[in-house]
Structure formats: structure tokens, C-alpha cells
Structure 1
Amino acid sequence: MATPLSAARFLAALRAEGVKVVEVGNWRTHNRNHVGRWGPVHGVMIHHTVTKGTAATVRICRDGYSGLPGPLCHGVIAKDGTVHLVGYGRANHAGSGDDDVLAAVIAERNLPADNEANTDGNARFYGFECENLGDGKDPWPAAQVDAIVRASAALIRAHGWGKAGNTSVIGHSEWQPGKVDPRGPGIGMNDIRRRVAARLKSPPNRLLDTDGDAPARSYVVQPGDTLTEIAATHGTTAPDLARLNALTDPDHIEAGQILELG
């Protein structure tokens, strides 16, 4: 349970986890806050779109359609693993779901079967729509699944969730009776939760490949970071980092800035 991150912190958390992000228009202020509350938030919900083609999928998720205004999520996860940010705040993604499931998410315990729809999920979950036909045949590329894991881990880490074993990420099918998403070969929420839990054991800048063992040599600056602290954490020196990144003023780094570590 938490106050939603600011849009800036949301973006910084995704980038710190190695998520490739595309910002779509006025996503930071595009929301449904005028019709209902946004927060407190308790977790992350994963969906599939039943659409084909990234451009069309992003447009639908941003604008919505007749009877369901957009945004339909906070981010669209494309087949190539890119996350397109389309809205921030209340979004039409979760709908009503089971209060017993929500209680389990908050307590970070195993989820019960969802059998009723009596609780507003749009106020309580971050939502990611994933480009997939949802027919049980359309594949989920490794890059897309990895982006789901990274995006979920980023928000769970930012809020300090996941400490009781459950990683606070659920599928739409686990929230609302009758829903089946995310569905298809190469996707499973138990596997997503296992992989998120594994990521949370490493610092956010330790970017892992799909096997979970290959560190990347870059770092996304977080609010309050100093070059000296970053260097000490990564076994180098501030002057070396300044030279490597062509920093004219080593005392001036900004949150969200990507530093090469060598």
C-alpha cells in the first residue's frame, strides 16, 4: 500500500531497471483522475491487448475506444520489449475485481481464486498492457517477457514491496473472474513472479539477461546520487567516471542520466 509514485519517479524507476522507454505525448498528465481516485496503490497488473501491431496498439491504449475512454494502462509493452508510456494516474485497465485477491496482494501471500468483482482495481494497481492477440497461440518473445519482469520489478523495488516473498505482480485473470490475460505460449504469472523475485535480489542497475546472470556496465542516476558514491559502489573512482562519460562538471549529475561504468 502506497501513494503512487510521481511520474518522474515512475520513469526513473523503469530506466534504472534497464527498461527501454518511449514517452508518448502528454502521458504524464493523461489520466481518468476526474472520474475517480488514483491510489493508494498495492501492486502491478499485467494484461494482453488482443491487438496486432505496435503503433495501432499504442494508439488504442492511449485513446481508448467507444465505451471505454483511454488511457487503458500506464505502459504498453511491445513485442520487442519497448515500453510505451501512454498515461499516468487512474487508467481503465483493471476494472472491478476480488477484494480477497487485493487483501492477498497487500499481505504479500498466495493469491486465492478470484470469484467476485466488488473492488475498484483502477485505483489500486499500476497496469501494463502487452501487445498480444490473446488467442493462446500468439507467442510472447523473450524480450517482451523480460520487459514485463523489469517493469514490474522497477515499481515493486521503488515501493519497497516484495519483502514477504510475493512480488506484488498479478495477471488480470487473477483479479477479475472471466478474464484470461495474459495468455499464450511463453507467459505465466508464477514464472513472472519467480523472475521478479530473482531480480529484486540484485541492485536495480545490475541489468540481467534472460538467464539472470549477465551484468550490464551502465547505471541510471537516482535522485540524491553523487558521482563519488556511484564510483565507490561500482569499484571505480569519480575522476575515472567523469572521463569515461565526458562530464565537464563532475559535481553536476541529474536523476535519469545514464552513466557508462566501463
Structure 2
Amino acid sequence: MATPLTDARFLAALRDEGVTVVELDGWRTHNRNSRGPWGPVHGIMIHHTVTRGTGNTVRIVWDGYEGLPGPLCHGMIAKDGRVHLIGYGRANHAGLGDPDVLAAVIAERPLPTDDEATVDGNRHFYGFECENYGDGHDPWPDEQLLAIERTAAALCRAHGWNAASVIGHLEWQPGKPDPRGFTMASMRDRVAARLGHSTPGPLPQPTKPKVSLSRLIEAARSNPQMAGTPVTYAGVITVEAALVDEGLLAKRYQDGHYGTSTITAMSEWQEACGFRGREPGQPADGIPGRTSLTRLGAKHSFDVVA
């Protein structure tokens, strides 16, 4: 997390890293700041332009296009390795993205899969469009890849970030393919080597939670509408979360107590599994059984134990 660099410090950081810079007239005040906040900044985002020709590409990222006004980036990295400065401040480059990805960038740890788009990335990322058609065949010259490496490293160095602060648009917003033609993992390795750091390793494989069938049955049978005193068991909330995801239980009832609403939701799940009958002691009475619970666990990533 950081306050954005001043335009002068931004320019100096790029030049200090050996980046060849082309300053377009008015770049320092060309922004979308009137449309929303700029900062705090957390990282650098890399894109490809889906264009051909440096002059044409510069025009497009400066002006934008129908439905998406410019600037579309802070800098456009051309095939010859020169970085054309397009704007400074808020730019229309990132759009909405995944809050878990943003949290990982802030913590400088490996990225999770981007599977939602709810956070304003234009506020939080420096954006660089790279001249490339994005079809997987258009080449990435060495000069251009080196310029991407130097540009990202320059801003990481200026902010005290490591290479985990450098991401691609495809890692931020579901469905985006850019940049296509090299991997962001390989680019982070290059940035890390330039900074003298190592890149974070892969995320450890998550351990599946385990749900005890016997304890779950005990909790279900302690429902106030049945005999006994209510039992609180942590595994209940795991099962309730799965029932919420199935659309069978309202989220407000995901509270760790196997109440009447959970009984009803489990009964509906059991019926979906092919069991019938909701009277106590019947196969779809809402009291968990191994078959239906195992199917729920397989679908929602928890294991069933005795």
C-alpha cells in the first residue's frame, strides 16, 4: 500500500532503471481523476493492446474508444522497448477485479485464482499497455520484454515492493486473456532477479476440512423440535456453508447450530440425492446420512469421517 508517486518521481524512477521514455505532451495531467479516486496504489498491472503499429496504438490508449475513454494506461510499452507516457493518475485500464487477488498483492504473496470482479482496480494499480495483437502469434521482442521488466522493477524499487506486486490483467479479472504470449510468472522471475529478490513459491494445497458424521448427527438430533439439548459443533457451519452454496439455506442461518432451517435444507439435499420422506427416521428427514453427506462433501470440498 502506498501513496502514488508524484509524476516527477515516477518519471525519474523509470529513467533510473534504464527505461527509454517518450513523454507525450500533457501526459502529467491526462487522467480520469474526476471519475473516482487514485490511490492508494498496491501494484503494477500489465496488459496487451490487441493493436498493431506503434502510432496507432499510442492514439488508441490516449483517446480510448467508444464506451471506454482514455487514458487507458499510464504508459504504453512499444515493441522497440520505448515506453510512451500516456497519462498520470486514474486511468481506465484495470476495471473491476478480485478482492482476494488484491489482498494477495498487498501482502506480496502468491495469487489465488481470480473468480469475481467487485473491486476497483483503476484506483489501485499502475497500468502498462504493451503493443501486441494478443493472438498468441504476434512476437514479443527482447527489447519489449526487457522494457516491461525494467518498468515494473522501477516502480517496485521506488515503493519498496517485491515482484509479487506485478500482475497481469488475466490474473485480476475473470475472462481476461492479457498479456498473451509470455507468462506473468516468468516476468515476475525477471523482475525479482533485477531487484535481487526471490519470487514467492506456489500456494500450498489447502487442507480439506473434516466433518464428523456422528457429531453432526448428534447436533441434528439435538434440534429443539426433537429430543435433547442443542449441541454446538464446528462441523455444522461447514455443512451449512455447503447448503448455502446449494441455495437450500439462507445465509443468515449459517450459524453453527443445526436448527430447524438446517434440518429442512438437509432434507431437501437428501431428496435431491434420491431419498424420500421427511418424517423422523425416514431417509430424507434432515438427519445426515453417510451417502448424502459424502456427496455434499465431494461437491463442496470437505471430507466425512466417523
The Cα of 1:33 is off from its aligned counterpart by 0.1
Q: Contact (CA 8 Å) 2:110, 2:164: kept in 1 or not?
A: no
1:119-161 deviations in whole A, cap 9, x for unaligned?
A: 0000000000000000111111110000000000000000001
Q: Which amino acid aligns with 2:34?
A: H
Who is 1:146 aligned against?
146
Who is 1:55 aligned against?
55
The Cα of 1:201 is off from its aligned counterpart by 2.0
Please show how residues 1-262 of structure 1 align to structure 2 within 5 Å: 1-162=1-162, 166-184=163-181, 187-201=182-196
Q: Contact (CA 8 Å) 1:2, 1:40: kept in 2 or not?
A: yes
Q: If you compute each CA radius of gyration, which structure gives the higher value, 1 or 2? A: 2
Q: Contact (CA 8 Å) 1:97, 1:177: kept in 2 or not?
A: yes
Distance in 2, matches of 1:66 and 1:114, equals 27
Q: Secondary structure at the match of 1:126?
A: strand
User: Any gaps of 5 or more consecutive residues in structure 2?
Assistant: 198-306
The Cα of 1:36 is off from its aligned counterpart by 0.2
The Cα of 1:171 is off from its aligned counterpart by 0.2
Q: Contact (CA 8 Å) 2:99, 2:118: kept in 1 or not?
A: yes
Q: Contact (CA 8 Å) 1:61, 1:76: kept in 2 or not?
A: yes
Q: Secondary structure at the match of 1:183?
A: coil
Who is 2:278 aligned against?
none
Distance in 2, matches of 1:198 and 1:135, equals 28
Distance in 2, matches of 1:152 and 1:167, equals 11
- Report the TM-score, using the length of structure 1 for normalisation: 0.74
Question: Identity, % of aligned pairs?
Answer: 74
The runs of at least 4 aligned residues of structure 1 exceeding 4 Å deviation read none
User: Any gaps of 5 or more consecutive residues in structure 1?
Assistant: 203-262
Distance in 2, matches of 1:53 and 1:72, equals 17
The Cα of 1:66 is off from its aligned counterpart by 1.1
Q: Secondary structure at the match of 1:34?
A: helix
Q: Contact (CA 8 Å) 1:77, 1:129: kept in 2 or not?
A: yes
Q: Contact (CA 8 Å) 1:4, 1:41: kept in 2 or not?
A: yes
Q: Contact (CA 8 Å) 1:38, 1:123: kept in 2 or not?
A: yes
Distance in 1, matches of 2:164 and 2:175, equals 23
The Cα of 1:167 is off from its aligned counterpart by 3.1
Distance in 1, matches of 2:29 and 2:64, equals 16
Count the aligned residue pairs.
197
Q: Contact (CA 8 Å) 1:114, 1:175: kept in 2 or not?
A: yes
Q: Which amino acid aligns with 2:171?
A: E
Could you say which structure has the greater relative contact order, defined with CA pairs below 8 angstroms and 6 or more residues apart? 1
Q: Contact (CA 8 Å) 1:156, 1:167: kept in 2 or not?
A: no
Q: Contact (CA 8 Å) 2:109, 2:164: kept in 1 or not?
A: no
Q: Contact (CA 8 Å) 1:167, 1:196: kept in 2 or not?
A: no
Q: Secondary structure at the match of 2:134?
A: coil
Q: Which structure dedicates a bigger proportion of its chain to helix?
A: 2
- Report the TM-score, using the length of structure 2 for normalisation: 0.64
Who is 1:241 aligned against?
none
Q: Which amino acid aligns with 1:82?
A: R
